[in-house]
Amino acid sequence: MRSILLVIIACTVISCTKNTEKQPNVLLIMTDDQGWGDLSFHGNDSIFTPHLDELATRSCRFDRFYVSPVCAPTRASLLTGRYHLRTGTSWVTHRKEVMRSEETTIAEVFRDNGYATGCFGKWHNGEQYPNDPNGQGFEEFVGFSAGHWNNYFDTKLMHNQEEINSKGYISDVFTDKAIDFIKENKDQPFLCYVPYNAPHSPFQVPDKYFDKYKKMGLNDKNACVHGMVENIDFNVGRLLQALDNLKITDNTIVIFLTDNGPNGNRYNGDMRGRKGQVHEGGVRVPFFISWKGHLPENKEIEPIAAHIDVLPTLAELCGIPLPSDLNLDGKSLASLLEKENTEWESRPIFTIHSEGKMRMKPAALRTDDYRMVIDRKGSPQLYNMKNDPGEKNDLAKIHPQFLDSLMNIMKDWFADVTKDGIKIPPIPVGYADAKTTFLPAPEATLTGNITFEGDWGWANDYIINWKKGDVATWKVDANESGKYAFQILYNSSADFNEAVFEVKVGNEAHEVAVSKAFNQPFKNSIDRVKRGEVYEKNWGRLNVGEVNIEKGKNDINIQLKTRPKSGVFELRGLKVEML
């Protein structure tokens, strides 16, 4: 009887210990436009990344880990465990980057299971609530939601729904905020997502980094990129040191990856392709996962894996049940991480760069050994990636039947992930948790002579060349009917005064005259090379007044009714505040 009692007590103690054991924290780090080759660990002898190299040696590393060819699609898949076309994200601008708010993200899953959730960096899956980080499960957010930012020093950022002024270099700022979040939540499980925006353009970095690589003989762009990566490495070191200082390293899963291939021609392990391409060099990235004392160290894993696998993997490692209705494309990699010689069912992995169009090219299908590529002309190519990692020998004509079978698999996949179509969603307005909504110029439809200042209308762009009758239109979806205050963000020359715009929603129209010039120069930008994006300005505010918006879908139009014979007007966007 005594022995039975001891067994019962022992089992009770073990059960209680297991139930009260703190779930592991997660530190998920992703960089922007850093290629596989932008690490000294991968054989690049012109870059200095000691902290990332050390992380690699104490991690499980996936030799062939794949993401999407560009930023927003990778983020949507990483956050949801689903191919990006399922989530509504099909490109990087003009609202094609927006992930549907109905998607269940890793932040929502972890938050609903008792985790504190924070995001510090570049979001790029929807600028307005509830498509923004707060609406998608991150309780704390410091960063920006556009595809790129205009300045990396002393810039404006968002803290949840409020604009703040930051001080210092942007990657340092994001690291500061992430460390603050980690310290505040060290006694409870947390998910800390740090999506750095470097080394994406514009190319700006502190002098000490740039000067170092210029002395090594690199051109200005690559010297800046290498400097930006070294600064990231420094900040990754700070994050890892913070875990050590708080004595939570043993209970924190750390992941490092990048969002696509390199944003330029530089060392990338002799792989074919770069950012924006579906060839190996455009989508194969580093992936390190470390959990001290729980996962093996310095382990190389051969089976192919992808961004869609991160959510189910972390959920299993953290003991978090996934909702049964998620319909994930990814699968947990936990058995590959934890076990040796585990049985693993091979599967195809798909990548596509449709640029928001309903087309199945450029695209690729990968197996553990082969890869089929469909280029922009639609011609399929076939490569044996184990024998020919540089993609030099096209086997399409040698194995036509095998190629046809892969093409049929790709067609079925594309039909499945696009069964809901590729739709541009209206802009949500009128939420109690985010009463002010910004309607940026690149999310408008332009009618008449007006164009964007930049060629493509990337993030932060503005509308120019206004003539009488020109119209900018935003399609919105109002969560509530009511009165809304409108403000136009603009720059204009003095000779454009007395021009009249009409702002119209439904049958209600308000006219507003430009009575005061606001003609600001570009802000000083410490660019190392000429940028492709627009430069930053301060913007004036032109009050339109109160406008009624009915619940549901509406068009908001700004039309130039009268204008002087000369003068310049630039429209950055429209602020809409629910009263």
From residue 233, alpha-carbon distances to 78, 179, 236 in Å are 21, 15, 5
36 shares its domain with 177: yes
Cα 483-485-490 angle, rounded to 5 deg: 150
**Does residue 299 lie within any of the structural domains?**
yes
**Does residue 233 lie within any of the structural domains?**
yes
392 shares its domain with 332: no
379 shares its domain with 520: no
Quote the CA–CA distance of 338 and 340 in Å, as a whole number.
Answer: 7
**Does residue 1 lie within any of the structural domains?**
no
Q: Counting Cβ atoms within 10 Å, is residue 292 exposed (0-12), middle (13-18) or buried (19+)?
A: middle
User: For position 402, which CATH number holds?
Assistant: 3.30.1120.10
564 shares its domain with 431: yes
Contact 245, 183 (CB under 8 A): no
Phi, psi angle pair for 140, to nearest 5°: -125, 130
* Strand ranges for 160-210 from DSSP E: 162-165, 190-195
Q: Counting Cβ atoms within 10 Å, is residue 323 exposed (0-12), middle (13-18) or buried (19+)?
A: exposed
**Residues found in the chain:** 579
Quote the CA–CA distance of 297 and 293 in Å, as a whole number.
Answer: 9
239 shares its domain with 321: yes
Quote the CA–CA distance of 496 and 567 in Å, as a whole number.
Answer: 4
Contact 370, 383 (CB under 8 A): yes
Q: What is the pTM of this model?
A: 0.95
pLDDT at 20: 42
Using the 3D structure, point to which of 391, 417, 443 is the last residue of a domain: 417
**Does residue 406 lie within any of the structural domains?**
yes
pLDDT at 18: 36
103 shares its domain with 215: yes
Quote the CA–CA distance of 45 and 28 in Å, as a whole number.
Answer: 26
Using the 3D structure, point to which of 417, 435, 455 is the last residue of a domain: 417
Using the 3D structure, point to which of 364, 393, 417 is the last residue of a domain: 417
Residue 553: enclosing H or E segment and its boundaries? strand 552-562
380 shares its domain with 483: no
- Strand 60-62 and strand 299-301: pairing? parallel
Cα 521-526-532 angle, rounded to 5 deg: 75
HSE-CB of 404 using CA atoms within 13 angstroms: 5
Quote the CA–CA distance of 219 and 372 in Å, as a whole number.
Answer: 35
- Give 387's contacts (C-beta < 8 A, 6+ positions apart): none
Q: What is the DSSP string of 284-335?
A: EE-EEEE-TTTS-SSEEE-S-EEGGGHHHHHHHHTT-PPPTT---S----HH
431 shares its domain with 480: yes
**Does residue 4 lie within any of the structural domains?**
no
pLDDT lower than 70: segments of the chain: 1-20
User: For position 477, which CATH number holds?
Assistant: 2.60.120.260
**Does residue 286 lie within any of the structural domains?**
yes
Report the DSSP beta bridge partners of residue 548: 483
**Does residue 147 lie within any of the structural domains?**
yes
User: For position 198, which CATH number holds?
Assistant: 3.40.720.10
Measured N-to-C along each axis, helices 50-57 and 220-245 cross at an angle, to the nearest 10 degrees, of 60
- Give 298's contacts (C-beta < 8 A, 6+ positions apart): 57, 58, 59
Amino acid, res. 351: T
**Does residue 6 lie within any of the structural domains?**
no
476 shares its domain with 362: no
Instruction: Find the DSSP H helices in 21-119.
Output: 50-57, 71-80, 106-111
Instruction: Give me the number of domains the chain comprises.
Output: 3
Phi, psi angle pair for 317, to nearest 5°: -65, -30
Owning domain of residue 540: 427-578
Question: Which candidate, 139, 245, 252, 281, places its Cα nearest to that of 189?
Answer: 252
370 shares its domain with 433: no
pLDDT per residue over 523-550, tens digit each?
Answer: 999 999 999 999 999 999 999 999 999 9
Q: Among all chains, which residue has been given the structure tokens 């006219």?
A: 511
443 shares its domain with 533: yes
What is the sign, positive or negative, of the torsion defined by CA atoms of 259, 265, 266, 268? Answer: positive
Amino acid, res. 2: R
514 shares its domain with 369: no
- Strand 299-301 and strand 65-66: pairing? unpaired
Question: Which candidate, 489, 456, 540, places its Cα nearest to that of 147?
Answer: 456
